[in-house]
Amino acid sequence: MASVKVCALDELAVNQAKRVVVDGVPIAVVRDADDNVYAIGDTCTHGDISLSEGFVEGQTIECWAHGSQFSLTSGKPLNLPAYEPVPVFEVEIADGEVLIDPSKKKESV
């Protein structure tokens, strides 16, 4: 599947997550203070909680339910109770628009 435009870069507040659904896949899109943009699976692997409702800190996002933090770069949980990673998607910025390919997952780092 080709990359899909999900929003304008300007629509992303710094250090906040925006939930988008691309081809049925819920994705949390995050812009950090250095203007890097990340896209990770929006559903916490510990429970059916939207990670985009959580807290962004540096290159992590924290699930509000039980406090697991996930790396925005690798999708891996950094603390329990979650122990399974969420997927990480390729992000492209073109002409001020954010594009995501939900079928193209980055290798975990």
Name the residues that contact ligand FES, by CB under 6 A: 44, 46-47, 49, 63, 65-66, 68, 81-82
Q: How far is the CB of 78 from ligand FES (least distance, A)?
A: 11
Q: Which is nearer to ligand FES, 3 or 43 (CB)?
A: 43
Tell me the residue ranges of DSSP E strands in 1-109: 4-8, 17-22, 25-31, 37-41, 55-57, 60-62, 69-71, 88-94, 97-105
Cβ-proximal residues to 108 (8 Å cutoff; 6+ apart), any chain: 74, 75, 76, 85, 88
Q: How far is the CB of 50 from ligand FES (least distance, A)?
A: 10
Q: How far is the CB of 96 from ligand FES (least distance, A)?
A: 33
Q: Which is nearer to ligand FES, 29 or 86 (CB)?
A: 86
Spatial distance between the Cα atoms of 29 and 100, rounded to a whole number of angstroms: 9
Report the residue closest to ligand FES, judged by CB: 47
